[in-house]
Amino acid sequence: MHSPRPETERSEISIVAASVMLIAVVGIGIVLRSWGIDADSWSTDEYYDLRLIKKPLIEVLTWHDGFPPLYHALLRYWVGFWGTEDSGRWFSVLWGVATIPVMYDTGRLCVDRRVGLATAFFTSIAPIHVHYSQECRAYAFLTCLSAVTIWSWLRVCQKNRIGDWGIFLASCVLGAYTHYFFPLLPFSLGGLALGFEASRHEHFRTRLVAAVVMTSLLCLPLIPLMRLDLGTQVNYVGQSGFGLLPWGFTYFSFLVGPSLGPSARQMHELRGTEALWLFLPYLVVLAVAALGLAWNAAKPLMTSRHGRSMLFLAFAPVPLLGVVGNLAQVGYNTRYALWCTLPLAICLAYAFAGRDSRVSHAMRRMRIVAVILYVGLAVLSIYNRHHRDQYRTEDMRSVADYLQHCEPNVPVFVVSGFMCLPLDYYCGASREIYAVNDVVGNRESLDRVLAAMRELAGHGGRYLVVYSREFYGDPDALLLTALDHTGSVRQVFKAPGVVVYHGKFAMPVAID
């Protein structure tokens, strides 16, 4: 019979061994973030960013797009240096990979090198982190800044050095200039300063107050920008409120990414119970893995000051973000709380490699099985992201290639209207692309849309309809039904997230 091994018998990993393993983990992160990076066409949000950085710098800094100006200013110089817009996604890969070693040292500061390596590994394979590291958007950069903020916060709590305070201050300011919801991270850390992480170092609270004052002063120029930027997000077409279901979906996505169960597009079309049945097989496996990890993590987390802090950071800020988003009338989105995946990775690392007083062989086997299940779900999610059409970005690049072989004089109408932007980007000047106004059950608006389409179709009466994200522009399929009644319409092409229809209006019968 094997006896449990006391914590004092556990040997620390050497610096050389930890460095070799960290290089391997970073290599895994590079492979996952670069694999299939150019497979998807630009999303609408990516198109907005690429269009913005083409403007003069002063316009980039003052443009009201819902974001502070730092990321777009940096992206502008990055794309300008490489000379190609395709480099925009590699900018996110850079910051996504840079987050991994930062999280290693954060885990090391919490416990030791074992937990640091486990933290780096869980960050490296996190499907949601891989996903945003492949998008030409601000979230990978924001996540890296969040990692530096948490890391420097642990440093100031442990050592209270001026240099660490400087890094903490800089990361807080840079984060605030990247996303308006970022200040909730230092706000949460400030709460920890009054609780779990109250430092015994001399002058700690004085320096904390000084850091808060300096950060606030440096962020004052954001106030007029924030008012106008957030104003553009009110009544945004994709806005949703925060509640129990978004809260649950947030942590499901944090753990296994957005590519298991129903896709984001399907979530708009399914009822709650239907979506839950599609999630259920993955929820069962995830629940088994989570229970195994939670059983192993409970004592190490709750008996460690830093462990309690990471648990707080992983779970407390999400409802706070939801409440703030609802009050600001900008809604809630999982990506707003993306930085919460960082302390969550540390919690997972505590479960797998954290110290506890007595570790039985049964518990070791339990956590190994739990980690295997979790890693299996993560790998499947990353695979689905690239190989299953329901999870891929709307493929307007393939649609544009198809349109190149269609008659040039046939007008192209896009539903939902805002999806015409990436299509217009890929088609260039070769096609006339028309955005169709949303048809949401109003007969008068439907008649106006049909009249405009008939006029643009001309005497031939032929047209093409690119149908994408119809849950916004034509949720009840009123337009397709009306087009079928006013002539003929048939599907001619299909790509991930997009269907192309060819139609012809019936010609009016002449009466002598």
**What ranges do the domains of the chain cover?**
11-234+241-391, 396-505
Contact between 270 and 390 under an 8 Å Cβ cutoff? The reply is: no
Instruction: Report the predicted TM-score, pTM, of the whole model to 2 decimal places.
Output: 0.91
Residue 461's region, left for phi above 0, alpha for psi from -120 to 50, else beta, is left
> Which backbone phi and psi does 161 adopt, to 5 degrees?
-90, 150
Torsion of CA 299, 302, 307, 312, to 10 degrees: 130
Residue-level pLDDT, tens digit, the chain, 512 residues: 444 444 444 567 899 999 999 999 999 999 999 999 999 999 999 999 999 999 999 999 988 888 999 999 999 999 999 999 999 999 999 999 999 999 999 999 999 999 999 999 999 999 999 999 999 999 999 999 999 999 999 999 888 899 999 999 999 999 999 999 999 999 999 887 766 555 566 678 888 889 999 999 999 999 988 888 777 666 555 556 777 888 888 999 999 999 999 988 888 888 778 888 889 999 999 999 988 888 878 888 888 888 889 999 999 999 999 888 888 778 888 999 999 999 999 999 988 876 654 567 777 788 888 999 999 999 999 999 999 999 999 999 999 999 999 988 899 999 988 899 899 889 887 788 999 877 766 678 888 889 999 999 888 899 999 999 888 888 888 898 899 888 889 999 999 999 999 999 987 644 44
* Greatest C-alpha distance within the chain: 103
Q: Please list the residues that pair with 433 across neighbouring strands.
A: 412
Give me the pLDDT at residue 201, please.
Answer: 66
Name residue 486's amino acid: T
pLDDT score for 441: 64
Q: How far is CA 344 from CA 29, 62, 252, 301, 353, in A?
A: 18, 35, 12, 12, 14
pLDDT at 8: 41
Cis (ω within 30 of 0) for the bond into 92? Answer: no
Question: Is the preceding peptide bond at 416 cis, omega within 30 degrees of 0?
Answer: yes
For residue 314, the Cα-to-chain-centroid distance in whole angstroms is 16
Q: How far is CA 350 from CA 111, 127, 294, 376, 486, in A?
A: 8, 20, 9, 19, 64
DSSP state of 489: E
